[in-house]
Structure 1
Amino acid sequence: MSILEQKAFLSSIHPFEHLTKAQLDDFSEHIDIVYFKKNEIIQKQGSEPKFLYFVLKGIVQEKQEDEVLSIFSKNELFDAISLIENYSKHTFVTAQETICYSLPREIFIKTLHENQNLESYFFQSISQKLNNHVDQEKNKEIANIMIAKVKDANVHRAVITDTSKTIFEAATIIKEEKVPTLLLKDENEELYIVTDSDFRQKVILNRMDFDDKIIKIASKGLVYVYEDDFLFNAQLIMAKHGLKRVVVKNSKEEIVGIIDQISLSSFFATNTFSVSNTIIKAETIEDLKEASLSFMKIVKSLNAKGVKIEFISKLINQLNRKLLTKLFSFLAPEELKGKSCLVVMGSEGRAEQILKTDQDNALILSDDCQISDEELKKFTHKFTETLVDFGFPRCEGNIMVSNPYWTRTKKDFKDLIYSWVNEPNPENMMNTAIFYDSLCAAGEKQIILDLKEYLFKVVGNTQTFNSQFAKVIMNFDVPLGFFDGFVFDSADKEHKNELDIKKGGIFILVQSVRALSLEKKLFNTNTIKRVKSLKELGVFDDEFAQEVIMAFNFLSNLKLKSNLEKIDKKENIDNYINPDDLNTMQKDLLKDSFKIVNKLKKKLEYHFRLNYV
């Protein structure tokens, strides 16, 4: 490249369009073009990085052990944070032959201190930092697709039978094996293919005899791909031959399955469509269990692609509710259908539970529901135990349908709500909070809406209850000192030098927003939706609402990433993080988030006069 082309390239990479002419000249004078082979390590974990890299061609993966954390492709740079900290937390390795510009660290650091635009970009406010990489996230998702292998997608099982089968026998095999495609093999070992559309278009429309041989509607001349081929190559092959599916082989030339256009579309949609479809079409409890076991894979995939946590949360909770709705339809006795409402509560009710932590659910029966105590007990026990089998642990507080306290008639729930509000002890306040977050997962939605209306009526406009409800936040301290240092719990020996970001941040934020929302009688359960509603009502101004949302998302994302790492290490998930495991920017963001939580807490103290309660 000429000097002019180098300058044009550098100026096209954000935020380097803000370089002065002298700084751009300095960059161009010191950059070199470097070539890396496929699977070559560019920067090792634990090393002191020497260069800032700009990708001209190829793909680079940021990895922690074998897990891909991020991907950098054409016109992206890495890793400025490592250069700032002079320490590489992860390893950077090429996924294919790669060409980069390399800029010496000392030039980058010098320019960073001289250029205010660059400095503000790498050290921004929390709202800006957490909201400025939408385009990069899209590019990374495309890059993930570009290096995905056929085996990463949903490859259907290959079922092979002989050509002597009748049309009826072949259709029976497809139904029993639950596959959309059937392979046939004749006496010469030649293979043919029959799809579900062949039955519709050739058999039904032509009114063929079901006793005819299946070979009459089969097609030959199969097209193959290998499971280690790139997924986009499979798509190109399908487009080239005008096919909707191809047969997949392994390195030993053995047929391992069939991949179709739906599988490709499902993968590009991060597999959520496929799992959702599996839930909808499930015919047995085992089908549902198989779908539920895919949730973790989806979370990891979405997180690795840089998808924002609010969208991950939304997708997973949609799948959770579909799963519960289907499970309820399988297990519920006829007496409950149309006469009850299954609700999820707590973080799941707020659509904020991503990992399978514990069950928080209840069953509300209509007052005219006719079901015996024995039948009801049998169902609720089965429902809870099935969810445990699916990977949803029991609630330590026993807030589950199998606990009679949380399974009762609508009238009985009204009595409960009345006692919770008029006998404001800690347990009743907690139950009110849990119930206020409840959301219909299956059954008659109007039942829970009526009870929410009743809750609003009983609470009324009394300042006393609202203040008592909000006061619980005073039991928790934000772990940030006067001089912006982190404050650790010296009495907690098990979690020395670790922060409980749920108690010190997420809970205070969630409960504060919940208290203000209950006061305003909002039906929203999701924290972010509640914040937006409170902004529309003038409780929060635009800037503070955005700050609260950004802080909530950052803390939740930090918790998710930490727990995904713990799952990979086969450790128990919890709410603790060690700030020493964070880079400089993440530490700054964590401090900024805690400052926002503190600001919100002070707003609640003033609004509800908590110091006088």
Structure 2
Amino acid sequence: MSIHEQIAFIKEIPPFDNLTKSQLDFFAENLDIIYLKKDVILQQEGVEPKNLYFIIKGIVQEKQAEEVISIYSNSEIFDPISLIENRSKYSFVTAQETICYILPRAAFIKILHENPALESFFFQSISQKLNANMDNEKNKDLANMMVAKVKDANVHRAVIVPFETTIFEAVQIIKDERVPTLLLKDNKDEIHIVTDSDFREKVILNRMDFDDIVGKISNSGLKYVNENDFLFNAQLLMTKHRLKRLVVKNNKDEIVGIIDQISLSSFFATHTFSVSNEIDNAKNIEELKKASQSFNKIIKSLHAKGVKVDFISRLINQLNRKVMNKLFLMLAPKELIGKSALLVMGSEGRGEQILKTDQDNALLIDDSCECTQEQIEEFAKLYTETLVDFGFPRCEGNIMVSNPYWCRRLKDFKDLIYEWVMKPSGDNFMNLAIFYDAVCASGNRVLLDELKEYLFKIGSTSKTFYMHFAKIIMDFNVPLGFFDGFVFDSKDKEHKDEIDIKKGGIFIIVQSIRTLSLEHKLMRVNTLKRIQELEKKGEFDKEFASEITEAFNFLLTLKLKSNLEKLDSGKKIDNYINPENLTTMEKDLLKDSFKIVNKLKKKLEHHYKLNYV
């Protein structure tokens, strides 16, 4: 580049637009240009930095050990703060082939002290960075949930005593060993647990004999977690099963400790546990509604602190199911309890719906249930209306329990599935896709398992059936042009210059993975879990499975980010994003994601011969 081009390039990068002409000339005279291959370390952690880098083209990652702290791309600089402090806090590594201008530290420091606006900007940035770091320290526990393992938390030492130990001896052991809980082993080598609250509520309040065996007040049915599992998964397990403790094992299947909610809370600084407890303890509809209204705050908090969309969706999905289960138990006639299954379907069933969009649910009733049709219809209508009041909008396609089509007995649902499979049509394929994503939110899960086994049993083994099932993806175009430009729908005046990220990417991935999963008769419903299963089945190699996973997560992240902004400004939540509102890096990553979607689409085209359907 010429000196004029160099000056023009620098002036486009704040705060260098504040430089005088002579200062810009000085910068240009001292600039050099370098070409770097992928995985080159430009600046090492702990080492005195030598240059300020201006990225012309490429991507550079800021890393602490192996963790990526930040990413820099075209027309961005790094790392002025390191130059000012004369010490690099993190390492900077190229993530792809990169071209940069480099400015020696001495030249940068000279102009920094000559230009008050420049000096103010960077020293203010240091202050802001320190403040941000303090905030980050306060929320460090939550951020660490992404990488922290169970063994990183405060895992209480496991003390195991015989089931026949007396109550007095057990209390003495707790005191001597300084542990909050005891594990008991019976003569069948099964493990039980007794806690301090058991002594208070069962022994003291019931005036039990201290010489009685402690096993009488213990609890069984323990849940286990591996010490190398993520803390977030431990929390999900606690939330799902309404537990306060998990028993921790090592890779040798040996019990090594106990982790409780307090330990997790030290890593997870949101109100998730309190909200979960509010749901469990809700005594009426209003209390349950109040608990459910906290979800958006949790979502915003997690997203703002960098928690991955996959973890957010899984957590919110668990909380949503707890609400739906509790509401079902509050409203359902006693004849339905244990004799039916409340199903959630679509994105909610797959665990991929984060913000409340619409209801996709059904009621599956055991043939032996004695509930009258009038009772069922009255309950179904009340359940739908109550969810609407909670903030779950009605489904535009009327896929709700209040619609008799989605509220049936087991034998009638089997007839319906038979019709979907044997009489292929657009509506039947859509209904089949919705049902295949169903999970049981409340009631008897065995009923749903029986229905899915029936689906697999009567499902066609010929490729023709799956060809037609997959064909719908051909109706959706990936909004990426031949020269990597975004393609907009010129007919859609309301969303001019916007992209429907669901139609152009998310749906194509979901339906492609769903079709392959149905062909392989997989019980999994979550798209990411299905991708893992399909990789094991040999449908994808490890690299492509990883690419699809990352593309899917990125698309969901952009959708969530856009909808949170719309939520804050009072706009309607939808699937549209404006690429102009994205950073340069986000635009590039979106293009890369669409390329992966296209690659998956082409695989389906080839696999099912979709061009011949």
Kindly tell me: are residues 380 and 120 of structure 1, through their superposed partners in 2, closer, same or farther at Cα, counting changes over 3 Å?
same
Instruction: Give the 5 Å matches for 1:530-541.
Output: 530-541=530-541
Alignment of 1:286 onto 2:286: yes
- Aligned partner of 2:481 in structure 1 is 481
SS in structure 2 of the partner of residue 268 of structure 1? coil
Distance 1:265 1:521 in 2: 39
- Aligned partner of 2:449 in structure 1 is 449
Q: Is the 8 A contact 1:531 1:545 kept in 2?
A: yes
Distance 1:385 1:599 in 2: 42
Distance 2:507 2:68 in 1: 36
Q: What is the identity, as a one-letter code, of the residue corresponding to 1:118?
A: T
- Aligned partner of 2:393 in structure 1 is 393
Q: Give a deviation string over 1:265-297, Cα, whole Å, max 9, x none.
A: 389342211111111122111121111001001
Distance 1:16 1:324 in 2: 48
Q: Is the 8 A contact 1:339 1:444 kept in 2?
A: yes
Q: Give a deviation string over 1:116-167, Cα, whole Å, max 9, x none.
A: x4363989xxxxxxxxxxxxxxx9995242799xxxxxxxxxxxxxxxxxxx
Kindly tell me: are residues 286 and 267 of structure 1, through their superposed partners in 2, closer, same or farther at Cα, counting changes over 3 Å?
farther
Q: Is the 8 A contact 1:436 1:452 kept in 2?
A: yes
Q: Is the 8 A contact 1:513 1:527 kept in 2?
A: yes
Kindly tell me: are residues 593 and 509 of structure 1, through their superposed partners in 2, closer, same or farther at Cα, counting changes over 3 Å?
same
Instruction: Give the 5 Å matches for 1:283-322.
Output: 283-322=283-322
- Aligned partner of 2:573 in structure 1 is 573
SS in structure 2 of the partner of residue 19 of structure 1? strand
- Aligned partner of 1:598 in structure 2 is 598
- Aligned partner of 1:466 in structure 2 is 466
SS in structure 2 of the partner of residue 336 of structure 1? coil
- Aligned partner of 2:96 in structure 1 is 120
Q: Give a deviation string over 1:72-112, Cα, whole Å, max 9, x none.
A: 99x9999864x843599xxxxxxxxxx954569xxx9xxx9
Q: Unmatched 5+ residue regions in structure 2?
A: 1-37, 54-61, 100-132, 143-195, 208-260
Q: Give a deviation string over 1:273-322, Cα, whole Å, max 9, x none.
A: 11111111221111211110010011001101101111101100011111
Aligned-residue RMSD, C-alpha: 3.8
Distance 1:76 1:550 in 2: 16
Kindly tell me: are residues 506 and 140 of structure 1, through their superposed partners in 2, closer, same or farther at Cα, counting changes over 3 Å?
farther
Q: Unmatched 5+ residue regions in structure 1?
A: 1-14, 32-54, 56-71, 89-98, 124-138, 149-195, 208-260
- Aligned partner of 1:529 in structure 2 is 529
Instruction: Give the 5 Å matches for 1:191-202.
Output: none
Kindly tell me: are residues 539 and 86 of structure 1, through their superposed partners in 2, closer, same or farther at Cα, counting changes over 3 Å?
closer
Distance 1:570 1:102 in 2: 43
Q: Is the 8 A contact 2:141 2:267 kept in 1?
A: no
Q: What is the identity, as a one-letter code, of the residue corresponding to 2:42?
A: L
Q: Is the 8 A contact 2:141 2:268 kept in 1?
A: no
Distance 1:101 1:299 in 2: 34
Q: Give a deviation string over 1:490-515, Cα, whole Å, max 9, x none.
A: 11111111110100000000000000
Q: CA deviation at 1:262?
A: 6.3
Q: Is the 8 A contact 1:85 1:583 kept in 2?
A: no
Distance 2:206 2:338 in 1: 43
Alignment of 1:544 onto 2:556: no
Instruction: Give the 5 Å matches for 1:151-162.
Output: none
Distance 1:30 1:308 in 2: 31
SS in structure 2 of the partner of residue 506 of structure 1? helix
- Aligned partner of 2:75 in structure 1 is 85
Alignment of 1:143 onto 2:137: yes
Instruction: Give the 5 Å matches for 1:294-443.
Output: 294-443=294-443
Distance 1:415 1:508 in 2: 29
Kindly tell me: are residues 526 and 119 of structure 1, through their superposed partners in 2, closer, same or farther at Cα, counting changes over 3 Å?
closer
SS in structure 2 of the partner of residue 468 of structure 1? helix
Residue number among 18, 25, 32 corresponding to 2:41 in the alignment: 18
Q: Give a deviation string over 1:353-383, Cα, whole Å, max 9, x none.
A: 1000000000011111111122111111111
Q: What is the identity, as a one-letter code, of the residue corresponding to 1:145?
A: N
Distance 1:77 1:607 in 2: 37
Relative contact order higher in (CA < 8 Å, ≥ 6 apart): 1
Q: CA deviation at 1:579?
A: 0.8
Kindly tell me: are residues 382 and 454 of structure 1, through their superposed partners in 2, closer, same or farther at Cα, counting changes over 3 Å?
same
State how many pairs are aligned.
Answer: 422
Kindly tell me: are residues 294 and 483 of structure 1, through their superposed partners in 2, closer, same or farther at Cα, counting changes over 3 Å?
same
Q: Is the 8 A contact 1:266 1:273 kept in 2?
A: no
Q: What is the identity, as a one-letter code, of the residue corresponding to 1:18?
A: I
Kindly tell me: are residues 320 and 19 of structure 1, through their superposed partners in 2, closer, same or farther at Cα, counting changes over 3 Å?
same
Q: Is the 8 A contact 2:420 2:428 kept in 1?
A: yes
